[in-house]
Amino acid sequence: MKKVFLAFFLSLTWLYSISVHSPVLEIVANGTVKDMVLRDKTLLIGTDSGSLQIYDYEAKVFTTTISLPPVKDFVGDMIAPRVFSVDEIQGRYLLLSDSGKGGYSNLWMHENNVTTQLVSADDKKPVIKVRFINKDQVLLGYLSNEAALFDIRSKKEIYRVQLSESKYSDFTLNEEKSQAVFACESGVLNVIDTKSGEVLKVLKSVNVDNVYKVDFKQGIISGAGQDRRGALYDVLMGSGEYIEGSFLIYATGLSPSAKKVAFAMDEQNNISIYNRATKTKIAELKGQKSTLNTILFKDENTLFSSSDDETVMMWKLK
C-alpha cells in the first residue's frame, strides 16, 4: 500500500512540475506562414500571399512588406506566389517562391528597395529552401535531396552534391554557418561542410521514417519525425536517442544553449519543452491553432512558433 501511495505521489509531483503556458503575443501575417526566420529583434515571415513581412516584436509592428509579382497557375490564372523560404544578412533579403512553371522555383534578392531575380523557372531548379552562408553565397536545398552552394555575383553553383535518393525534407545551419544538416524521408541525416559540400557525418538509426524538421545548436541536432520520435543527436559522437511522442512530430527547435528542446508532440498542436539532457518534460505551450511548421528560440525562455495559418505566436517560459 505504501508503494502504491508513493508511486501516486511521485506521479502527481511530476505532473504539477510541468508548467503550462499560453502565448504572450499573437502576430497575424497577411497569409498562411510558410517560413520564419529570427534576426535580432525582428521576425522574417514568408507567406503564401507572395510576400516577406518583417515584424518588430519589441515595437509590436510590421515594419516592411516585400511583395513579389504574381505568377500564372496551371490553368492560366494570375495568383500570388507562395514565398516558402526567406532569409536576411546585412540588409540583403532572400525570397524563394513558386514560379508557376513545372514545379521550378524563383529566387529573388531584395536590397536597398530593389528586388532582383537570381533564379527563374528557365533555370529549372526545384529548390525548396535557401539560407545565406555569407553575403554573397546561398545554400540551396533541392527537392531531390541535393545540396548546392550558389554564388550571387556569378549566379552559378559552386558545387552541387547528391546526398541520397530519398526525397528532401529540411535543412538547417549551425551557428557559424560552417555546417548544415539535411533531413529526408528515409530518416537519415547528412551533416555537410557548407564551403565544400563534403559529407562530414551520416546520422541514422533513430528515425525510421521521414524527418520533417531539424535544428542544429551547440553540436546537437534535433529532428521531428513522422515515426513519432523526437530525435536528439550528438554530432561529434555520432550517437543518437529519442523522445517518444503520441502523434506525428512536425516541428522542433533547440534553445541557444541546446539545454532545452521543443517538439510538437501531440495531435492538439501543443509544444512540449524538454530538458534535453534528462529528456524530462518541463513545460507545455497551448494555443496553436493548426499544424506546426516552425519553432524558434530567441533565448532560453522566449520562443516563437508558426503553423499552417496566418498566426505566429510568441511564448515565455518564465
Kindly report the CATH number assigned to the domain that includes residue 107: 2.130.10.10
Are 219 and 135 found together in one domain? no
Which residues, including other chains, have CB under 8 Å from residue 78's CB and lie 6 or more apart?
70, 71, 72
How far is Cα 127 from Cα 57, in angstroms, rounded to an integer?
A: 30
Torsion over CA of 48, 210, 220 and 91, rounded to 10 degrees?
Answer: -20
pLDDT value at residue 1: 52
Q: Examine residue 101 and state whether it is found in any structural domain, yes or no.
A: yes
State whether 181 and 284 are in the same domain: yes
Secondary structure class of 15 (helix, strand, coil) = helix
pLDDT at 13: 41
pLDDT at residue 16 in the model: 46
Per-residue pLDDT averaged across 168-173, rounded? Answer: 98
Instruction: Indicate whether 5 pLDDT > 50.
Output: no
pLDDT tens digits for 201-244? 999 999 999 999 999 999 999 999 999 999 999 999 999 999 99
Domain end, chosen from 115, 137, 162, is at 162
CA–CA separation, 191 and 212 (whole Å) = 16
**Is 158 within 8 Å of 137 (Cβ atoms)?**
yes
Does the pLDDT value for residue 264 go beyond 80? yes
Per-residue pLDDT tens over the stretch 67-103: 999 998 878 889 999 999 999 999 999 999 999 888 8
Mean pLDDT, all residues of the chain: 94
Choice between 40 and 37, residue whose per-residue pLDDT is larger: 37
On whether both 130 and 180 belong to a single domain, the answer is no
How much is the pLDDT for 74? 76
Judge whether 240 and 232 are in contact, CB under 8 Å.
Answer: yes
Q: Which of these three, 115, 136, 162, is where a domain ends?
A: 162
Domain membership of residue 303 as a residue range: 170-318
pLDDT of residue 251: 98
Residue in the structure block whose three cell numbers are 497575424? 28
Please say which residue of 136, 162, 188 terminates a domain: 162
Split at pLDDT 50, 70, 90, the class of 10 is very low
